[in-house]
Amino acid sequence: MSRANAAVIRRSPAQQAGRYWSGLLMVSVLISVFWSQSIQARGLPDFTELVAENSSAVVNISTTSEPRSQSSRFHGLPFDERQLEQLPPFLQDFFGGPQSPFGGSPRQQQPQRSMGSGFIVSTDGYVLTNNHVVEGADEVIVRLNDRREFQATIVGTDPRSDMAVLKIENGEDLPVVQVGSSRDLRVGEWVFAIGSPFGFDYTVTAGIVSALGRSLPSENYVPFIQTDVAINPGNSGGPLFNLDGDVIGINSQIYTRSGGFMGVSFAIPIDDAMNVFRQIRDKGSVARGWLGVLIQEVNRDLAESFGLQRPRGALIAEVMQGSPAEKGGLESGDIVLEYNNDPVRLSSDLPPLVGRTPVGESARLIVLRGGREINLDVTIGRLPENGEAAPAPEADDSGAPSQNSLGLAVEPLTPEMASAAGVQGGVLVTRVGQGPAADAGIRPRDIITEINREQVRSIEEFSQVTGKLPSNRAVSVRIVREGRAIYLVMKP
């Protein structure tokens, strides 16, 4: 028997158990340390190297706007600026002086200055920022973090997306950011911003992506990235980075009641921003795709009335006359479920998808019509600069006022009223009593053009359609109110 084996045999059970538990404890401690470090690394990223690598391409933007004569400054006065200058000096001081409630006279006004942020995207000096940072500016100065300053020219702006493209002339060795992609962003992902809030240069704030594809009332064609990154006045136009150091958005707006940060910030996705940049750089303007429809959200009751198992899609309330949608066969009451293989979950999903489509290109839509899905190919047009009102043929309805079990009193729609409302027929609601119509939100002066997916162009058609409505089931009602078509849900 060897000496080593003898030693093992002579070790007592208690000693063996002690060694076992001691080893197990040491392994547990090591696992705990490594696990806590892993959790810390994943939960609290280190931004120091990322900030050092990317700060040089982030710029501070300061603008100067010379005072301009504006007619609005003389709103409420019985004279304009030229007439003001012809008044005696004491009256000029009274109406236009520094103590006047109407503001200082033109010669006393000082140049307006503002500040914002931006970032360099190309070695030849192109800078991206927000339109509202440079809007109305006569001079734009770009300052880098190495304290170099350059005068920049405004290449072009796109107020719809709140974007502006600047150009630094005669710049050498300009640093640039690494442009990433916003398509693969996920909610909960860490992001950080570099900017100049309140003029404090190169301030870094961090947070997470709170939501994607947000549609704001001011702009339906930008699917904003919502974050909880601290953004304040002065951050506008600055970059939003991911943990790879890639720019994935342009900080643009905040939701606030106090004027400061409240945890809700919005950024323009970099994919959309770069599309705008390339169009401005290459063509000088931005062209967006256009369908020519008015859409609304599909709620639970509308989903039930249209035969959908759950709310989804974009409900077309109105198709504009002569629009690409009309030429492509879309109809009011269609629900767009897919656009070029992209699902449309909310109505706000559709405008950005259409806006990104090149003008003149064909788009494949899947719509729900009459309880079944159909495919349509629509050639996308160019979004007009201003809204267009499409005239409609006059209606020729006749008949007498009618009241029914829905609690509605209606009367024929005259040709003049039909033309003014832009409809081809319908009935005018004159009175709403207690009943399903009132519960649905129908009001006097509404024009009913469709009930339960059947057209209503006259009193006779209204009576026929309402006489065969199913009971205890939601039905859709299309109305035109103040020139806008919407769908409501009524339960007879």
If you write DSSP's letter for every residue of 294-328 in order, what string do you get? EEEE--HHHHHHTT-SS--SEEEEEE-TTSHHHHT
Q: Which of 62, 117, 132, 334 is catalytic?
A: 132
Which pLDDT score, from 0 to 100, does residue 315 have? 93
- Residue 364 CB partners (closer than 8 Å, separation 6+): 338, 339, 340, 341, 375, 376, 377
Instruction: Report pLDDT for 489.
Output: 84
Domains of the chain (ranges, CATH numbers): 56-65+77-168 (2.40.10.10), 178-283 (2.40.10.10), 289-382 (2.30.42.10), 402-490 (2.30.42.10)
> What contacts 184, CB < 8 A, 6 or more positions away?
none
Q: From the candidates 158, 162, 201, 301, give the one annotated as an active-site residue.
A: 162
The pair of three-digit structure tokens given for residue 88, joined into one six-digit string: 């005696």
How far apart are alpha carbons 354 and 16 in whole angstroms?
73
Which residues touch 321 (CB under 8 Å, ≥6 apart)? 390, 391, 392
- Do residues 439 and 268 touch, judged by C-beta distance below 8 A? no
Q: How far apart are CA 161 and CA 280, in angstroms?
A: 12
75 noted as active-site residue: no
CA Rg value for the chain:
32
What is the predicted pLDDT for the residue at 77?
Answer: 46
Which DSSP state fits 458? S
**What pLDDT score was predicted for residue 272?**
93
**Cα distances (Å, whole numbers) of residue 340 to 62, 324, 375, 426:** 42, 16, 11, 34
Active site residue 132: yes
Unique residue bearing structure tokens 């005018």: 428
CA distance 363 to 354: 9
Active site residue 236: yes
- Nearest C-alpha neighbor of 317 from the set 350, 339, 287, 345: 350
Element (H, E) at 9: helix 3-10
Look at residue 195 in the predicted model and tell me its pLDDT: 93
Structure tokens at 40: 């810390």
Q: Which residues of 67-90 are buried (b: 16+ CB within 10 A; e: fewer)?
A: eeeeeebbeeeeeeeeebeeeeee
List 182, 196, 236, 305, catalytic entry:
236
Query: pLDDT tens digits for the chain (492 residues)?
Result: 444 444 444 556 656 656 666 666 666 656 655 555 554 555 578 899 999 999 999 999 999 887 765 444 444 444 445 445 555 565 555 555 554 444 444 455 677 788 899 999 999 999 999 999 999 888 999 999 988 999 999 999 999 899 999 999 887 889 999 999 998 899 999 999 999 998 888 999 999 999 998 887 666 789 999 999 999 888 999 999 999 999 999 999 888 777 777 889 999 999 999 999 999 999 888 888 999 998 989 988 888 888 888 999 999 988 888 899 999 999 989 999 999 999 999 888 999 999 989 989 999 999 999 889 999 999 999 888 754 433 333 333 334 444 566 778 888 887 878 888 888 888 888 888 777 888 888 888 888 888 888 888 888 888 888 878 877 778 888 888 878 888 888 877
Q: Are 267 and 239 in contact (CB under 8 A)?
A: no
The pTM of the full predicted model, rounded to 2 decimals, is 0.67
**Token reading at 476:** 């859709």
Please give the pLDDT value at position 17. 59
Predicted pLDDT at 370: 86
